[in-house]
Every structure is written in C-alpha cells, then in structure tokens.
Amino acid sequence: PSFRTVLRELPEIYNLDIPPSETFPDADPSVFHKRYLKKMRDLGEGHFGKVTLYLYDPSNDGTGERVAVKALKQENGHVSEGWMKEIEILKSLYHSNIVKYKGCCTELGGHVVQLIMEYLPLGSLREYLPKRKLCVPQCLMFAQQICQGMEYLHSKRYIHRDLAARNVLVENDSLVKIGDFGLTKYIPEGEIYYRVREDGDSPVFWYAIECLKESKFSFSTDVWSFGVTLYEILTRCDHRQSPPTKFFEMMEAPQGQMTMLILIKLLERRRRLPCPKECPHEVKTLMEQCWDEDPAERPTFGFLIEKFEAVRR
C-alpha cells in the first residue's frame, strides 16, 4: 500500500479512532479523551461516586493540566438519569464558590460518562480542617462563601440536599467551593417542596426535621444542613464531635432501624447539636435559627451573608 493509504488507515489499525474535532485547533475543550488521561491518585469517594486525580496530557510530555474525574461507583459510570442530571446541573452553574465543570470523558460509544472538574488541591473541608488551626474569623469567611454559593444555587431554583463539610472543597486558605451536586433537585416555579420517593442512603444527621418525617425538601432544608455544616466548620471537623457522634450520644439506646425514629423524637423535643467551643454568641444564634423546627422561620442564605459580614467586621 502507498504511504498515503497507510497514513489514512493508521488510526483504524491502532484503533485510534481520532474524531474530526480533535484534528482542529478549535476542538471542543469540554471533550476529554480517555487515552490522554494519566492517573495520578485517588482523591476520595462518597456514597455514589469516586473521584480521581488525573493529568490530562494530550502532548504526552508531562505538561498537561491536573483535573478531578468523577465516576459513578455502582454502575461503573454507566449513564443513568440521575448521573446525567448531576453533570447537566454542574455544567449550568457559574459561581466563584461552586466547583467548575470542565467537561466529560465518554467511553464505549456513550455508555460510560465521566465528569471532569477542576481539581481543588486541598480536598474537602473534612480533610483540610482537622489539619489546620483555623481561627474563628477564617471559619466564618468559609461559612460566608458557602452561603454565597448556596444563594446562587437557590437563585437558579436548585436545592442541594447534601450540604455538608465533606461536600465543600478547599482551593486555598481563603477560598472554598461547593462540590457534589449528586442529590441536587430543581424546584419548579410556584412550588416549594421536593418530595423524595427513593429511600436511599441519606445523610440523616444533616437533615431538617421535616425531611426525616415527611421526606419534604425545600430551600429551607438546605439552610438547616448549612447550620450543621457551620457546626462542623467550628468544630474543625473533629470526628469526636461530628454530628453523628453527638446525636448518638444523645440517644439512649440507638439501634439500627430505630435510629431515625429516635432522631425525630430528639429533634421534636428541641434537642440540637451543642454550641461549639469559642463560637461567637451571634453565630450561635444564627445556627439555632437554621435549626428552627418551622422551615418558614429559618433565615435565607441572603440574610446569613449579611449577618456573617456584620460579625466579621
């Protein structure tokens, strides 16, 4: 065969399958090719996903960029409605306190999709906080940034439903971003609740009382979870003071199936997480407002931002 033929057939011979987009300089930057992704290390995993650090290095000389790649755990990343929804939601969000979407890596003709995000070098607040001696003003700055990201999310009519320190990522000592939109739901205009049908693995100790009792989620249930996240930040994610640890201590005889019912009883009797050490009085009040049993009495993220600004001044 002629040199030209070989050249034309090379991609097929080596199964290179180079799509036309890649041969042009203006290729779609949100399309990531698996063969250029070089694994560096595991970053973490939650209930649903596994996140890995890769070097995306098309020129194959080590000069590529580091990206965080999220794949689904159970279905091996096989596309499911919820997973595609998570990707679509992240793709539509642009805010300095929300992790940036970069693109997707699609395999097996679209049957497996991985989400490519910016890499945040300091991991989640859960990894970061116990290692540093963060002062209270810095804690409050992080709390305010979370509120800013959440206010934006709510302005787009999304509820997060899984706000917790494990889902807040740290860029540097003065910047955090909300990550993990796996449970995020859209609330149609005119409606205020989202009712869950599936009874999956839920982060119950971060949930508002009405979520536990009636599976009702609203903008105000995110505010409750923010209160728990604020508690985690002020206890520097010390696992001996974690929300599950503290609630279990309050329960007399916690046992498997009964845990939810006992937790509901505790919350109905107005039992709440304790005030963290060195927590300023105004912040304690805010935390208690976030945990008001009446969702309508809880503050909005806009209100919380103003309060944090005032306390930090």
- Total residues binding ligand ADP (CB under 6 A): 23
Q: Is 44 within any annotated ligand binding site?
A: yes
- For ligand ADP, give the closer residue by CB, 100 or 213: 100
Instruction: Give me the residues that bind Mg ion (CB under 5 A), please.
Output: 46, 167, 180
- For ligand ADP, give the closer residue by CB, 43 or 93: 43
For every residue of 183-212, DSSP letters joined together read: T-EE--TT---EE--S-----GGGS-HHHH
Q: Is 51 within any annotated ligand binding site?
A: yes
Q: How far is the CB of 187 from ligand ADP (least distance, A)?
A: 20
Of positions 32, 54, 70, 105, contacts ligand ADP by CB under 6 A: 70
Q: Is 213 within any annotated ligand binding site?
A: no
Q: Is 49 within any annotated ligand binding site?
A: yes
Is 123 strand, coil or helix? coil
Q: Is 43 within any annotated ligand binding site?
A: yes
Please, are residues 184 and 194 in contact by the beta-carbon 8 Å criterion?
Answer: no
Give catalytic status of residue 162 as yes or no: yes
**Contact flag: residue 32 with ligand ADP (CB under 6 A):** no
> Phi/psi zone of residue 76: left (φ > 0), alpha (ψ -120 to 50 degrees), beta?
left
Cα distance between residue 209 and residue 216, in whole Å: 9
Site for ligand ADP in 166-185 (CB under 6 A): 166-167, 169, 179-180, 182
Kindly state the tokens that stand for 158: 């999304």
- Give the chain's radius of gyration (CA, Å): 22
**Contact flag: residue 37 with ligand ADP (CB under 6 A):** no
* Residues in contact with ligand ADP, shown as a per-residue x/- string from 138 to 157 under the rule CB under 6 A: --------------------
- For Mg ion, give the closer residue by CB, 86 or 180: 180
CA dihedral 299, 305, 311, 313 (to 10 degrees): -160
- The residue annotated as part of the active site, out of 61, 162, 180, 292, is 162
Please, are residues 255 and 232 in contact by the beta-carbon 8 Å criterion?
Answer: no
Cα distance between residue 229 and residue 227, in whole Å: 5
Residue 117 burial (C-beta neighbours within 10 Å; 0-12, 13-18, 19+):
buried
Name the one range near ligand ADP by CB under 6 A: 150-158, 161-169, 197-205, 266-274: 161-169
Residues found near ligand ADP in the complex (CB under 6 A): 43-49, 51, 68, 70, 99, 117, 119-120, 123-124, 127, 166-167, 169, 179-180, 182
What is the set of active-site residues?
A: 162
